[in-house]
């Protein structure tokens, strides 16, 4: 076999594996969306009972009206009169019951599903989510997860109910006139196949496209709103708005086509229902037991003919749900694929998972956690020593490591500068040290391998101030308090003073001043200082500062670094990531990345 053929074969095997894995992920989300039989079956049974009552009501009414026309003594009609009332009441009661029970089950399952998806997402953040657009991610978590409630309500239940009612109705008609039952069965199969095939041909691709289009639209709208200033300055707003208008038009077209498919399917169902009624008439009339026509074996009387002629109408009303359910199924599957795309059952290997500490862990694991937590507490008190040897870090989905062969030692009071050109892997090291990313090699905190510790304990010891610190659209007070909820206003003012923001806070009117969405009302340097104030309040023994001077000018950079290193205090170990020069007297060691 040639090398090219082998490469092609391995690529197609890889694609097949990836597609099988995607399908398995989608199935696992669908399983999460389907309520357990205990809460699903009662609704299903009520639905079947309601639908059967609807068919029985029409059959009974048809029989009653036709029989009454023959003017028999009233006692021959009384059972049917009772039957009509019972079926009418029963139909409404069972429909009500079905709605209440099945929606209750579906909503409970929806809550469990949302929680399940959120639980899957948690370990991925932030490194495993950096590839997903924020608007799209939100749409997947809200709209797509919401759409998954249609699986029990508008797919599984209508399919089972319709099939069961159709089969039972055919059996019922068979007991009156087998030929009419066969005609009804043929029409049902034909209606189902035709309705599904035609509505599928018209609307399937649109039904699958709606969820992704919705996500992309949300993403693009959010991006434009968030970056209005940049888009305006580069005169790129109109192009982006035109792109959004185009997406909107695509979504509208897809929704219209979906409606067209539903309309087509409804008209086919009506057409075939009419054909079934006609067939019942054509087959039933010759079998009528007419006066003077002589006794026929199994001959029909008038009321029975009315029953077999009208029952198909009621059956098709229920049966119309099948092609509709298949349409909804396509949308549900598309939504499940999208949810599975961001919330895989298996965490990618590049993202660390606690060895112990998941919610299902047993008593022994709890004991282990306690022991490790005690160890971690000890580290906080003593001031830990970080020993990193031959560390290598890879981002999810990347074949090559972002950085490798990194070794250093950091102890209380150290100020280590990590320098290197853009893309050298400085941030990747920071993410590994706070366990957002997994690592190979060794990373020990006071002799304990970090992967043996619960992640949150590592993060109690090692704190990260990110390059673009996240500020909440709240007051300065709230932006600090979440680092230490018990801090008083005096504590907050003292720490703001430590990071050089006392004057600015007073100018702004105190701790109640707002910082704007993502810190829009503060400068880059002030945002960094607030982030450092937070870290000081949280009292991390080891502090990683990722490019604190990235958003300030050269004149201010020096002052900012001095201020925040001073604010960090002498006891704390600081790892300062910077690709701009830092005065030698401010650092005790440096690590240069190529």
Closest CA to 57 of 277, 309, 304, 314: 314
Cα-based torsion angle of the residue sequence 418, 420, 421, 424 in order, rounded to the nearest 10 degrees: -80
Length of the chain: 594
Distance of closest approach, residue 576 Cβ to ligand ATP, in angstroms = 13
| Main-chain dihedrals φ then ψ at residue 294, nearest 5 degrees | 85, 150
- Scanning the structure block, which residue is given the tokens 């104030």? 533
Closer CB to ligand ATP, residue 206 or residue 428?
428
SS3 for 121-144 is HHHHCCHHHCCCCHHHHHHHHHHH
Minimum CB distance to ligand ATP, residue 388 (Å): 15
* E strand map for 420-529: 439-445, 448-449, 462-465
SS3 462: strand
Q: For 452, which DSSP code?
A: G
Please say which residue, 37 or 423, places its beta carbon nearer to ligand ATP.
423
Beta bridge partners of 463: 543
Residue 392 buriedness (CB in 10 A; 0-12 / 13-18 / 19+): middle
Start-end of H helices in 227-301: 228-233, 237-284
Beginning with the edge strand found earlier in the chain, give each strand of the sheet holding 573-577 in spatial order: 462-465, 542-546, 573-577, 415-419, 589-592
Nearer CB in complex with ligand ATP: 84/545: 545
How many C-beta atoms surround the C-beta of residue 144 within 10 A? 27
For residues 162 and 428, which CB has a smaller minimum distance to ligand ATP in the complex? 428
287, 28 Cβ separation under 8 angstroms:
no
CB of 579 to ligand ATP, least distance (A): 5
| Cβ-based neighbour number of residue 9 at 10 Å | 11
Q: Looking at beta carbons only, is 151 or 464 nearer to ligand ATP?
A: 464
CB atoms within 10 A of CB 502: 14
User: CA-to-CA distance for 413 and 572, rounded, in angstroms?
Assistant: 5
CB of 401 to ligand ATP, least distance (A): 9
Closest distance between ligand ATP and the C-beta of residue 393, in Å? 8
Q: How far is the CB of 338 from ligand ATP (least distance, A)?
A: 20
Q: How far apart are CB 39 and ligand ATP at their closest, in Å?
A: 40
Q: How far is the CB of 422 from ligand ATP (least distance, A)?
A: 3
Q: How far is the CB of 356 from ligand ATP (least distance, A)?
A: 27
> Encoding tokens for residue 555?
């004149």
Instruction: Report the residue number, 342 or 402, with the smaller CB distance to ligand ATP.
Output: 402
> How near is the Cβ of 441 to ligand ATP at its closest, in Å?
16
Sign of the alpha-carbon torsion through 19, 248, 325, 342: positive
Which spans of this chain sit near ligand ATP (rule: CB under 6 A)? 130, 395, 398, 402, 420, 422-428, 547, 579
Return the number of the residue (127 or 155) whose C-beta is nearest ligand ATP: 127
State phi, psi for 372 to the nearest 5 degrees. -70, -35
Closest to ligand ATP by CB, 151 vs 342, is 342
In the complex with ligand ATP, the residue whose CB is nearer, 19 or 130, is: 130
Question: Which phi and psi (to 5°) does residue 259 adopt?
Answer: -65, -35
Nearer to ligand ATP, 297 or 400 (CB): 400
């Amino acid at each position: 076999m040639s090398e090219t053929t082998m490469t092609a074969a391995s690529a197609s095997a890889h694609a097949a594996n990836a597609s099988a894995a995607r399908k398995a992920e989608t199935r696992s989300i669908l399983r999460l969306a389907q309520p357990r039989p205990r809460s699903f079956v009662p609704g299903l049974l009520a639905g079947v009972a309601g639908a059967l009552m609807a068919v029985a009501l029409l059959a009974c009414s048809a029989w009653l009206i036709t029989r009454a026309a023959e003017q028999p003594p009233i006692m021959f009609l009384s059972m049917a009169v009772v039957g009509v009332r019972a079926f009418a009441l029963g139909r409404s009661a069972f429909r009500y019951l079905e709605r209440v029970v099945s929606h209750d089950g579906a909503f409970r399952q929806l809550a469990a599903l949302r929680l399940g998806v959120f639980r899957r997402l948690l370990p991925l953040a932030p490194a495993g989510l950096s590839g997903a657009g924020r608007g799209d991610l939100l749409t997947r978590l809200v709209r797509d997860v919401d759409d998954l409630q249609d699986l029990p309500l508008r797919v599984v239940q209508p399919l089972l109910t319709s099939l069961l009612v159709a089969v039972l109705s055919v059996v019922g008609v068979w007991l009156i006139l087998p030929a009419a039952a066969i005609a009804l069965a043929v029409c049902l199969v034909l209606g189902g196949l035709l309705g599904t095939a035609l509505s599928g041909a018209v609307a399937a691709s649109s039904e699958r496209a709606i969820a992704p289009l919705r996500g992309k639209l949300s993403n693009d709208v959010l991006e434009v709103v968030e970056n209005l200033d940049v888009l305006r300055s580069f005169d790129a707003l109109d192009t982006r708005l035109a792109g959004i208008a185009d997406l909107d038009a695509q979504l509208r077209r897809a929704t219209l086509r979906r409606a067209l498919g539903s309309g087509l399917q409804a008209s086919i169902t009506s057409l075939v229902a009419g054909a079934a009624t006609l067939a019942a008439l054509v087959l039933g009339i010759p079998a009528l037991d007419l006066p003077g026509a002589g006794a026929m074996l199994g001959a029909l009387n008038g009321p029975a003919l009315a029953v077999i002629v009208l029952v198909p109408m009621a059956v098709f009303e229920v049966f119309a749900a099948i092609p509709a359910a298949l349409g909804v199924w396509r949308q549900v599957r598309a939504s499940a694929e999208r949810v599975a795309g961001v919330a895989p059952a298996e965490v990618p290997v590049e993202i660390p998972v606690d060895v112990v500490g998941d919610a299902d862990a047993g008593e022994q694991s709890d004991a282990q956690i306690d022991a490790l937590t005690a160890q971690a507490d000890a580290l906080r008190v003593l001031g830990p020593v970080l020993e990193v040897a031959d560390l290598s870090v890879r981002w999810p989905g990347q074949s090559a490591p972002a950085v490798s062969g990194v070794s250093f030692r950091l102890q209380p009071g150290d100020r280590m500068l990590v320098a290197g050109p853009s893309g050298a892997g400085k941030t990747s090291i920071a993410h590994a040290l706070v366990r957002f990313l997994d690592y190979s090699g060794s990373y020990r905190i006071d002799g304990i391998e970090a992967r043996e510790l619960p992640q949150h304990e590592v993060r109690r010891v090692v704190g990260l101030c990110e390059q673009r610190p996240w500020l909440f659209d709240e007051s300065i007070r709230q932006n600090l308090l979440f680092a230490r909820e018990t801090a008083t206003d005096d504590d907050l003012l003292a720490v703001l003073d430590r990071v050089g923001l006392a004057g600015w806070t007073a100018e702004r009117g105190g701790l109640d001043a707002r910082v704007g969405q993502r810190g829009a009302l503060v400068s880059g340097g002030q945002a960094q200082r607030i982030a450092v104030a937070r870290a000081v309040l949280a009292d991390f023994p080891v502090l990683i500062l990722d490019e604190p001077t990235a958003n300030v000018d050269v004149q201010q950079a020096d002052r900012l670094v001095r201020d925040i290193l001073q604010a960090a205090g002498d006891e704390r170990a600081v790892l300062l990531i910077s690709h701009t020069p830092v005065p030698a007297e401010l650092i005790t060691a440096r690590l240069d990345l190529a």
